Structures are given as C-alpha cells and as structure tokens.
Amino acid sequence: MELLMDVVGSCNLRCPSCPVGNMGQINSSGTTDVALFEKVIAHADENYAIYRVSLYNWGEPLLHPHLPRLIRIVKDRNLHCALSSNLNVLRNEDAILAANPDELRISLSGFHQETYGKTHARGDIERVKANMHRLAEAKQRLPRNSTKIDVYFHKYRHNLADLEPMKELATSLGFHWMENWAYYMPLEKVLEFTEGRLSDTEMSFVKSQIALPMHEALQEARAFASEPCRLWNEQIVLDFEGNTAICCGVYDLKANRLGKFLDMTPADLMAAKSGHPTCVKCTAHGIHRYGEYYNHPVLRPKYEQLIADNVSDSVHEAI
C-alpha cells in the first residue's frame, strides 16, 4: 500500500481547483509531531506492505520545521519517500536534499505571473523560479544526492502557451519534466458537480479552465462504475494528527475520518472503508474511474479526444 500523510495540515496558497482554495480551512491545522510520525511509520512498515510514503496530500510539506528529520525516519526503514510542493517557500534546501528523499515534485501552472496566478492563487512564479535555481545549486553541492526533482505542470485551457518556456527552464536545471491535465478537486466538489449542487462561480471556473469536460467525462465513466477502486485497496491516507481518511480524494475529515491509524489493524482499516457512504456515492457515479482515467484502456482515448476538442474550442475563443 501507499501511505500518504499530510505532515502539514494547511497550505500557503489558495488554488481554486484545490479544496484549500474552494472549501477553505474546514479541518484542523498544524504540523505533525516528530515522535508521532515515527510511530506512524513504524506501525505502517510493520503491519502493511508499504511501497511508498508521501509526506503530502492537500498540505504544503516544506512548511514543516523538521522536514529533514521526517524524511530520514522514512529512509531509515528503506522506504520510498516522496514530497510535493508549490515551492513558494524553500527553507533548508541542503538539509532536505541531504536527507535524500526519492522524489521532490514541484507543482505549478504557468511561466508568467498573469497565467500562474489564475490557478495558483497567492503564489508568485518568480519566487518559484528563484527557488528552482536554489534547489539546482543545492543538488550540485551534494554529489551523492539521488533525489529526482520533477517539475509537474498542471495544464488548463488558459495556460498552454506557458508550457514550453517552463519546460525549457526545468530541463536546463536538470529537472525531470512532467505534465498532466488539471482536475477540479476534491471528491466532495466532484459529487456536487454530479448532483447539480456546484455554485455558479465554481461552474464558471470549471467550464472556462478545466480542459477535460467534466459532464461528458463523468457520463463516460459511469459505464465502468462496477470496476474496483485502486485507491480503496492500496491507500492509507492520514492527516497531520494521524487520523485515517478514506482516500486521497476526500477533504472533509469530519465526514470521512475512519479512526486513529495507530489504533487500527489492517482488518479494522478495510472494515471502516467498506460500505462507507462517500465510497458508495463515488463508485455509483464512476468517479473512481474518472479520477484515474489515464490507466484505463477505454476511457483514456475517449478523454483525450474530449480534451483535444475542448482545447481547440479555447483557441478559437481566444482568436
């Protein structure tokens, strides 16, 4: 299984396609206690077949004051350690890289501030670029470091012209390039969309920015609603206090908390997930297939065509 733990229960940005931006601070905020984290990793390693530990879900892990120590706790058990950051804040880059996480992903959505600021609200792309240079310099200072640094470009209808200049910068710094079409998240918002409860403001954002048309995509996904959910079977998702949630797609912990991870056996965890109302709603609509269409042999080509048609429309609108 994969373990995802939000070691920081908040984020410095307010991106409109992320629940921190579109749902607000409805959960508790804080940072994971180091002693608690050590117990969590030990419990996970000793009771589950853990192949990866991600120190993030909705929060910004680089805000944690003891992040290098958390990374070392994971690596001391020979587990794969992954980070993902908006990189608007970078502290102790040498110490972070010296702890040797396996992955550090930089998530962004533009090269110019006018573009980036629409979908990474409160973010400063020039600060991100400066921090990318700092990371590259730190990596050069640590010749034994094996961390793979990815630049992950979230593609929207409005930002495709910014893709190539950012790719050029990322590769010039020795970083690995990744790109993918952005989703509107979390699961709660997708359910609101499906049930016709999304606000007019949010609907306007979805239609103007999200390249994969959600209505058509969800219609296609319903045909595969009976297929199993990988997230249900393969994920352990925790908040910064060690509370377990159903999966990485949910945000509201009051509605989707399963219990304290340290008090649960693997059987307890799967029993708590089984038949949960959120899971029932999600799978009934095929949202679990929509969320992972890129691994689906039928949905992927259909969705790629929907995206191509929608992006083409955006070009015509711009003209």
pLDDT digits (tens, 9 = 90+) for 212-225: 999 999 999 999 99
The reported pLDDT for the residue numbered 317 is 52
Q: Is a pLDDT exceeding 80 seen at residue 235?
A: yes
The reported pLDDT for the residue numbered 316 is 44
Cβ neighbours around 167 below 10 Å, total = 17
Instruction: Give 119-150 pLDDT, tens digit per residue.
Output: 999 999 999 999 999 999 999 999 899 999 99
Instruction: Give 67-100 pLDDT, tens digit per residue.
Output: 999 999 999 999 999 999 999 999 999 999 999 9
Percent of the chain scoring above 70 in pLDDT: 98
State how far the Cα of 220 lies from the Cα of 153, in Å rounded to an integer: 26
Mean pLDDT for the stretch of residues 229-257 = 96
- Residue 158 — very low, low, confident or very high, per pLDDT cuts 50/70/90? very high
The reported pLDDT for the residue numbered 319 is 33
State how far the Cα of 27 lies from the Cα of 10, in Å rounded to an integer: 9
Map out the domains of the chain as residue ranges: 2-184+229-274
The reported pLDDT for the residue numbered 314 is 60
pTM of the model: 0.94
Q: Is a pLDDT exceeding 70 seen at residue 204?
A: yes
The reported pLDDT for the residue numbered 318 is 45
The per-residue pLDDT of the chain, averaged, comes to 96
Cα separations (Å) of 283 from 31, 179, 231, 275? 32, 27, 11, 11
Q: Is a pLDDT exceeding 70 seen at residue 315?
A: no
State how far the Cα of 254 lies from the Cα of 27, in Å rounded to an integer: 8
Please report, to the nearest 10 degrees, the dihedral formed by the alpha carbons of residues 55, 56, 59, 64 taken in order: 10
Instruction: Identify which of 81, 57, 10, 66 has the alpha carbon closest to the alpha carbon of residue 236.
Output: 57
Query: Which of the following CATH numbers is that of domain 2-184+229-274: 3.30.420.40, 3.90.1150.10, 3.90.230.10, 3.20.20.70?
Result: 3.20.20.70
Q: Is a pLDDT exceeding 80 seen at residue 32?
A: yes
CA 160 to centroid of chain Cα atoms = 20
